[in-house]
Chain A
Amino acid sequence: NAGVTQTPKFQVLKTGQSMTLQCAQDMNHEYMSWYRQDPGMGLRLIHYSVGAGITDQGEVPNGYNVSRSTTEDFPLRLLSAAPSQTSVYFCASSYFPGLAGSTGELFFGEGSRLTVL
């Protein structure tokens, strides 16, 4: 059971380049989300999805796009990378929080370290 898989683990970009961080889960979770972690800031929510075809903005959505065409996959796109997007990115998934009988326990991938020069 792979859980939540993120790729790539490391990436270096130049300012203005685009890229996609991939996230896949094999637990049939409805809920998926992306966070960024910066020193002293904890984890900040970028975007989240409560099911295929449904996405919404988190706390820091600017500069990022997401889509959810399948239950399993939730890619995060940087259209024009900026140095301020240098960070560690985490994808997470869970059963839908609040559903009767659902624990809503959040599972994380191992993270993707992105550096924008």
Chain B
Amino acid sequence: GIQVEQSPPDLILQEGANSTLRCNFSDSVNNLQWFHQNPWGQLINLFYIPSGTKQNGRLSATTVATERYSLLYISSSQTTDSGVYFCAVDRERDDKIIFGKGTRLHILP
């Protein structure tokens, strides 16, 4: 099946720092999504981004489908950004939405 690899697995930053999270995938996909899981376990959709670049406040994402990767940028980090960030891809050949193992982000005050 498709491999979805996220890096880094863990990231610890001071409040105010910027970060880049990466998602690589091994097969052609119809779409890609980024999610944030907060410390209470809730999963929130950040971006639906099969290709191109989108921005939402301090967060932005870029997907280069032809090179099979996506990047999530977080600028001016806040403690509320802490949690786990997942990317998920929908394979072209079927309708399975497969998740990576996530990047755990700790923002220190």
Contacts and interface: CB of A to CB of B under 8 A. Distances in A.
Interface string A23-51: 00000000101010000111111001010
A32 to B, nearest CB: 11
Contact of B96 (A48, A92, A104): A48
A97 B101 contact: no
Contact of B102 (A33, A42, A50, A92): A42
Interface string A1-28: 0000000000000000000000000000
Q: State which size class the interface on A falls in.
A: 20 to 34
Most buried by A among B1, B30, B45, B95: B95
Contacts, number: 63
A42 B86 contact: yes
Interface of B: 1, 30-31, 33, 35, 41-43, 45, 48, 86, 88, 90, 94-102
Interface stretch (A66-74, A77-85, A107-115): A107-115
A91 to B, nearest CB: 11
B99 A110 contact: no
B97 A33 contact: yes
Given A42-B99, A92-B97, 20 more contacts: A31-B95, A33-B97, A35-B99, A41-B101, A42-B86, A42-B102, A45-B99, A48-B96, A48-B97, A88-B41, A97-B31, A97-B90, A97-B95, A98-B95, A104-B30, A104-B48, A105-B48, A108-B42, A110-B41, A111-B41
21 contacts: A40-B101, A42-B86, A42-B99, A43-B99, A45-B97, A48-B96, A48-B97, A59-B98, A88-B41, A92-B43, A92-B97, A96-B95, A98-B90, A104-B33, A104-B90, A105-B45, A105-B48, A106-B33, A108-B42, A108-B43, A111-B41
Interface of chain B, main secondary structure? strand
A59 B101 CA distance: 14
Contact of A103 (B1, B48, B86, B99): B48
Nearest to A49: B95
